[in-house]
Amino acid sequence: MYLTHLQCPRCDTAHDADRPQNLCSCGSPLLARYDLDGVRRAVAPETFAGRAADLWRYRELLPVADAAHVTTFGEGWTPMLPAPRYGGSIGLPNLLVKDEGLIPTGSFKARGAAVGVSRARELGIRHVAMPTNGNAGAAWATYAARAGMRATIAMPLGAPTITRRECVAAGAELHLIDGLIGDAGRHVGKLIAASSGSPGGEIFDVSTLKEPYRLEGKKTMGYEIVEQLGWQVPDVILYPTGGGVGLIGIHKALHEMRTLGWIGDALPRLVAVQSTGCAPIVRAFGAGANRAEPWADASTVAFGINVPAPLGDELILDALRDTGGTAIAVDDESILADLHEFGAREGLLLCPEGAACLTAAQRLRAGGWIRPDERVVVLNTGAGLKYPETVDVGGLPVVPR
């Protein structure tokens, strides 16, 4: 294993990676750091072609030392699909969709759960807890069950109902919360505090960015995008941003690959896509702020990005500015319209969060921020089948027998 330590990006303090860690004492999330010189000597880009088509192909850049602790359902290596008809209709003939809906549990959250649970298992953690907007909880419950661990999940009542069924099916202890994800987070905090000091009963907090290894699973999207493009970077990557772990992870992966010499100096422009009903990052980016203020009365059909106060706000904003990217908010009506239009043109039912990126791409192209010749990657972060209410079939006629 090439993992060396954990580093605080805010105060630069180094932390021991060989014991469970949550936030730095300054309140910032921690980032995993690797001996990249050692990785460079051990592997090269062409090495990966002969490995299994899953995210563990990048094992030298992941934090699990002993393969016996790897907890997997074969996650990763999702397809990157050309979308010429829809892309051509919005002036982006080189539009690509990376479809995370085909991953285990039906969303990209399985990447973070696979690596996070595997490392937790290796560090001796036996009970994890987290708040969720749905898909992350379903993924962590599923992977925890496979690892023989307990999971406690707190989920807002408004989350997609399929995700609560997934949690229950995986044997998790599910707490339904009358509120938003912040309320679920406060509930989890109380449970963890109550468990502290209880012999054998301590619960480890795996909330978004409160442990460092979920991000390591998510960053593999960045490695895959570049490898699938022949070790070339696209011009733009649009990412639906709630907690923003995937965007932060892709940014981290790009910097690792640049340090390794696997890509050049130019990085793709990263775009944080939010809903007009919950856009704290867009507001902060537009104001030139380094932190995002909580969004009041948050609400959107794209429930996965309904995060009023993301813990990783500094890291998200840094990733956007470092790459010359931007942040944009789109409305629910347009999200649903583009979801239907894309399905009719390309045959793929997107999740509403992924569809939000289409709307954003269309508007950025119309405004000239994206050029027509640029290669643009949209992240579809989950299976549209998990959101059946986005397709209304109530008005269809019934043919009599």
Q: Give the strand pairing for 150-156 and 236-240.
A: unpaired
* Amino acid (one-letter) located at 164: R
* Locus of tokens 């980032």: 31
Q: Which long-range contacts (CB under 8 A, 24 or more apart) does 298-301 make?
A: 298/180, 300/275, 300/276, 300/332, 301/275, 301/332, 301/335, 301/336, 301/352, 301/390
What's residue 362's pLDDT?
A: 98
Query: With contact defined as beta carbons under 8 Å apart, do 290 and 262 qualify?
Result: no
What the block records as the tokens of 207 is 């909330």
Separation CA 21–CA 213 (nearest Å): 10
Residues of the chain with pLDDT under 70: 198-200
Separation CA 194–CA 172 (nearest Å): 18
Question: In terms of Cα–Cα distance, which of 367, 365, 358, 275 is closest to 81?
Answer: 358
CA distances from 65 to 33, 73, 127, 265 (A): 14, 19, 20, 30
What's residue 394's pLDDT?
A: 87
Separation CA 244–CA 250 (nearest Å): 10
What the block records as the tokens of 185 is 């987070």
What's residue 323's pLDDT?
A: 98
What's residue 329's pLDDT?
A: 98
What's residue 196's pLDDT?
A: 81
Q: Which long-range contacts (CB under 8 A, 24 or more apart) does 286-289 make?
A: 286/327, 289/317
CA distances from 115 to 66, 75, 220, 223 (A): 12, 10, 10, 15
List of residues 6+ apart from 333 with CB closer than 8 A:
none
What's residue 199's pLDDT?
A: 63
What's residue 200's pLDDT?
A: 63
What the block records as the tokens of 285 is 């980016």
